Amino acid sequence: MLQNTKNIILENWQGPKEGELKETKNYHFAILQEGISLEFYFEKFFHDKKVTFHRIHNFDSLISICQRNQIDAIVIGSDDNKEINLELIHSIKQNIFLSIIPVILYHPNPEQNQIIAAYENGVEEFIHGEWVDRLVQVRIEKAIERNRRDLSINGSTQLPGTNIIEDEIMRQLEMQAEFAICYADLDNFKAYNDYYGYHYGDKIIRLTSKIIRDTVFDLCREGFVGHIAGDDFICIIPIDLVDDICGQIIKTFDTLIPFRYKPEDRERGIITSVNRKGQIEEFPLLTISIAVVINSNGKFDHVGELSHMLADLKKAVKMKDGSNYMIERRQKY
């Protein structure tokens, strides 16, 4: 029989407050216009949103703008008499800080070699030829959305990160769907990471992600799995599959994890490391704890309520030894 789990909390995943499920998108553009004005079109495209333009004069001004503001896209527009500024594009994509911001180019009639060179230098979107308002708008919006999505993917596990996790939960709540949200984290991971080193700690994280992902998708193709940060994971699954999925995750984890230890440590069942107080302490082998909150009959309205329930559940689960899962049975409070 599986023991009750170790709790978890959405401490580093804060949900919106009540009434904040829907919010208007705001866009901040850093824009360089040479012989052409794009602001009129952008304001027309995004008439139902707040659009802010930050005008670029040179590379240094772009750096300053992006350091002071959260820029959604860098837009560079030229008319037929101006050459495409490939040198500026190259400088942007060679800069670690700027390289993660999508670059969108506009030129009415570029040569094919210029288009190729622009993409080779890292441009995300090149708008050229006939200007079709709705098409241009969609291409700009999708370039920004792709970038936001890519930035929210965890680089180690390739699982959706906090932004996508929150979006998915909000989507489910807005649909008034019934689902279970399972928050899993590892027990004694810091001790393992300190003892074996970050390289082996990262292997544990990737193995855990694979166990959770494979279990969820084997048993529930419509499930969702995300990686909040560190050793914290989220999955969203049908209510009737909670016991099967959580039980299988624990069984697989407890079978495989001992083999990530040296034979002598595995035989002892403990490792010795420094705790958070700087004291030498013995730690048992890694285990996994999963806290589960059920949303049914419109129980929750926003992510913050789920977070609040999980925070309390954590205290109860932490008192249990070993790998466990626990379902919150209380009503919302």
pLDDT single digits (tens) 5-32: 333 333 444 443 444 444 456 789 999 9
The domain made up of 162-327 has a fold known as Alpha-Beta Plaits (3.30.70)
Q: Which of 8-17, 72-81, 191-200, 239-248 has the lowest mean pLDDT?
A: 8-17
Runs of H (alpha helix) within 46-108: 59-68, 86-94
18 or 71: whose pLDDT is higher? 71
Please, what is the end-to-end C-alpha distance for the chain in angstroms? 30
Instruction: Give domain limits for the chain.
Output: 26-151, 162-327
Q: Which of 87-91, 111-115, 305-309 has the lowest mean pLDDT?
A: 305-309
Which residue from 127, 122, 123 is spatially nearest to 108, judged by alpha carbons? 127
Q: 106 near 128, Cβ under 8 Å?
A: yes
Topology agreement, domain 26-151 and domain 162-327: no
Q: 98 near 75, Cβ under 8 Å?
A: no
Classify 229 as helix, strand or coil: strand
What's the whole-number mean pLDDT along residues 258-273?
94
pLDDT digits (tens, 9 = 90+) for 281-291: 899 999 999 99
Within a 10 A sphere around the Cβ of 169, how many other Cβ atoms?
A: 25
The C-alpha atoms of residue 183 and residue 10 are separated, in whole angstroms, by 8
Tell which CATH classification among 2.40.50.100, 3.40.50.2300, 3.40.640.10, 3.90.550.10 matches the domain 26-151: 3.40.50.2300
* Residues whose CB falls within 8 Å of the CB of residue 35, separated by 6 or more in sequence, listed in order: 78, 79, 81, 82
pLDDT digits (tens, 9 = 90+) for 314-329: 777 777 999 999 998 7
